[in-house]
Amino acid sequence: MEIEYLDPSNAKSYQSCLAKVYMQDILDGCENVVAIGAKDSDLPCGCVFAKVLDEIVWIKNLFVLPFARRKGAAGLLINELKSKALKLGCAQIKFNAVTSENNIDLLNKFLTKQGFSEIELLARIYRASPEWILKEGKWAKRLLNSNFELPDKVTILNQDEVDEELFAKLKNKEEINYPDVLSPFKNEFDLQREFSLFAVFDNKKIVGWFTALRTNDDRILYRSVFVDDAYRKSKLGLIMFSKVIKYHVENCMEKGVLAAAAVDNISAINFYSSFFNNSCDSIKYEFSTNIEL
């Protein structure tokens, strides 16, 4: 097993191991990228792709092709990344990604052997096609035909319509407290923002939001959803979601649906489980782990 650093001259031979967006970063020569490939009998079989941000190495992609698994490729890639991180003056590597439920235990076992912390599950992610949801989903049909009344003095605005001062207050958690994982500004995968909706009370306070990002495989990820405690019983969340579904039908019907619910947000999990019901073709989990060097 051999390893090599990837650059524009050799990156394309690893296209079966690397998401297109990360491949493009290598081909474009992005300065904060660290990409390492593994070869088995001179055949590219795996790679790790990371970005260096604020003296932290963030793993974005770690993949080994099936024929080369259990041969030590992943371990070699991680060890080389550790060495590179130290040479760059970085004292920490973080790994934030998505995997299937079946892979969690295996991945956790591998990473802890490499010195990483125990995997922390962050979100449950539902995956489905919009066509199937519209055909089988009672919730989707109801939302598309809904005409819910907004709470008094609350308006739903697109991101570019919201006063920047309100965003500043939201980032500082003034008058509203929310888990960091549900931040509307959170975008640890560097995904393109598709749209964001914000519920604003009397032009003075943001009381809820719904954000959508475009994934590397051209799906729409409903990433962070939050409603202020005072509006939980007002159907504000349903109102925002109905607008999201209508937007998807009108603008993104060719793109698959992904919806993320924080693992400790029981109400969101119950809602998505009910909404997708038999329309969901798979469920994955977002996780996080790190290692101090």
Buried b (16+ CB within 10 A) or exposed e, 88-126: eebeebbbbbbbeeeeeeebbeebeebebeebebbbbbb
> DSSP string covering 236-255, please?
HHHHHHHHHHHHHHHH-TTS
**pLDDT at position 227:** 93
Buried b (16+ CB within 10 A) or exposed e, 213-223: bbbbeebbbbb
Q: How far is CA 15 from the centre of its chain?
A: 21
DSSP at 217: T
82-91, 191-200, 266-275: which is most confident: 82-91
Kindly report, residue by residue over 40-83, the tens digit of the pLDDT: 999 999 999 999 999 999 999 999 999 999 999 999 999 999 99
Kindly report, residue by residue over 177-189, the tens digit of the pLDDT: 898 878 999 877 7
Dist. CA 6–CA 8, nearest whole Å: 7
Dist. CA 165–CA 163, nearest whole Å: 5
Under CATH, which number does the domain 126-289 receive?
3.40.630.30
At residue 13 the predicted structure's pLDDT band, cuts being 50, 70 and 90, is very high
Kindly report, residue by residue over 197-238, the tens digit of the pLDDT: 999 999 999 999 999 999 877 889 998 889 999 998 898 988
Structure pTM?
A: 0.81
Comparing 2-90 with 126-289, is the CATH topology the same? yes
Kindly report, residue by residue over 89-134, the tens digit of the pLDDT: 999 999 988 898 889 999 999 999 999 999 999 999 998 888 877 7
Q: Is the pLDDT of residue 293 over 90?
A: yes
Extract the tokens encoding 174: 């003034």
Residue type, 210: F
Q: Where are the domains of the chain?
A: 2-90, 126-289
CATH number for domain 2-90, candidates 3.40.50.2300, 3.30.300.10, 3.40.630.10, 3.40.630.30:
3.40.630.30
Q: Which helix (H) or strand (E) holds 57?
A: strand 56-64
